[in-house]
Amino acid sequence: MKTKQFITNRFKEAGIEINGSRPSDIIVRDERFYTRVLAHGSLGLGEAYMDGWWDSRELEESFNHGLSARLDERIFTWRTLFSVLPSILMTLLKDFGSKAQSYNIDAHHYGIGNDLYKAMLDPYMAYTCGYWKNVRNLNDAQKEKFDLICRKIGLARGMSVLDLGCGWGGFLKYAAEQYGINGVGVTITKNQVTLGNEMCKGFPVEIKHMDYRDVEGSFDRVISIGLLEHVGPKYHRTFFEQARKRVKNNGLVLVHTIGGHKSRRYVEPWMNKYIFPGGVVPSLEQISHALQDLFIMEDWHNFGYDYYKTLMAWFENFDRAWPELKKSGKYDDRFYRMWKYYLLSTAGAFKARRLQLWQIVLSPKGVSGGYKSVR
C-alpha cells in the first residue's frame, strides 16, 4: 500500500491523476503497476504499458506533464537504480558505437521492414524531424526540412554531397531533383540501400551499404541527418574527424541531431532494450568538445518543438495503417503498443522541451566574409 500511495502522490504532483477523468490522466488496469514502476523505473513503466497494465487517452500529454514536472527523477530510488544498473552497464561496456555492434542496431530497428516505414513516413521516407515553420502537413514539413538544409549549405548544381547515415536516401534524391547535385549516401541497413537506390533511380545518386567510418573521397558538402544519436559519446570525435576528412577545405558540413541538456554516456533503459540499442542523445558539451580544433561552428539552430509535430504525424499514419500492417503477420498487438509508446512518449518529451533538435553548420576554416544564417 505504501508503494501505491508513493507512486500515486508523485504522479499527482506532476498533474497526473491515476484513474482520473482528464485525457492526460492514466488508467491503471493491473495493481502490479505500482511495484513494477518503483522497482524498474522507466523500463518498468514502458513494459507495463506494453503488457496493457495501464493506459492513457493522450499518452503524449501524460508524458508532457510528467517530464515537465521531472517525474522521472522524483520516482527514482536506490531500488530503481539497482534494477536498471545492468542495462546501464551493458550500454557502457558493450561498445555499441563500434562497427561490429552498429550492424546489430540496424537489424534491431531500421531493418524491421520497409512496409512499416512506408506506412508511417512521407514519400521521401524521411525518418527525422520535419520543419513546420510555414506548413501544416508532414509531407510539406519534410520537403521544407530538406530545402532548409540545401539553403544552409549553399548547394549549387554540380556539387558533390556525402550523406553520412543517409537512411533511404530521401535528402539526396530531393537535392538532386531540386539543386542538381551528385550524391553518395551510406547506411548500414540493407533494406534502406535496396529501396533507396530504387527511389534515386535516374539521378546521379548512389546509396552504399557502408559504415560511416569507411567512406573515402572528398566532397563539396557533407551532411548527416540523424546519425550522431547512434554514434555514441565514445565515437563523437571519430564522427567529426571523418566529416573533416571528407569535406573540402572550402566546403560546409551540416549535422542534424536530437540534443539533450545533460551529458550522458548511456541510453534510457526502455529505449535501449526495445527501440535504439546504445543510442545516446548528445549534449551541447559533448558536441563542442568533439568539434574542438576541427571546425568553425558557423550556425546552431534549435527547432525541437517541430519534432513533437513530426512524431504526432508519424503516429497518425502508423495508427491508420495498423490494420493492414497487422494482417501481414509480422507485427502483433504488443508491437503496436510498443511502437505507440515509443512515438507518443518521445513526442511528449519534445513537447516538454526535455529533448531538442539541432542543426549545426560547420566549416573547416571559417566562411570568408562570414556565414549568413538561414531560417
List the pLDDT tens digit at each of the 375 positions of the chain: 699 999 999 999 999 999 999 999 999 999 999 999 988 889 999 999 999 999 999 999 999 999 999 998 877 654 555 555 665 566 556 677 777 666 666 667 887 889 999 999 999 999 999 999 999 999 999 999 999 999 999 999 999 999 999 999 999 999 999 999 999 999 999 999 999 999 999 999 999 999 999 999 999 999 999 999 999 999 999 999 999 999 999 999 999 999 999 998 877 889 988 998 888 999 999 999 999 999 999 999 999 999 999 999 999 999 999 999 999 999 999 999 999 999 999 999 999 999 999 999 999 999 999 999 999
Domains of the chain: 2-93 (no CATH), 99-363 (3.40.50.150)
**Helix (H, G, I), strand (E, B), or coil: what is residue 107?**
helix
Distances (CA, A) of 367 to 128, 249, 273, 370: 27, 10, 43, 5
44-84: per-residue pLDDT in tens? 999 999 999 999 999 999 999 999 999 988 776 545 555 55
280-294: per-residue pLDDT in tens? 999 999 999 999 999
CA distance 298 to 296: 6
Q: Model pTM?
A: 0.95
**Dihedral Cα 90, 334, 116, 26, nearest 10 deg:** -90
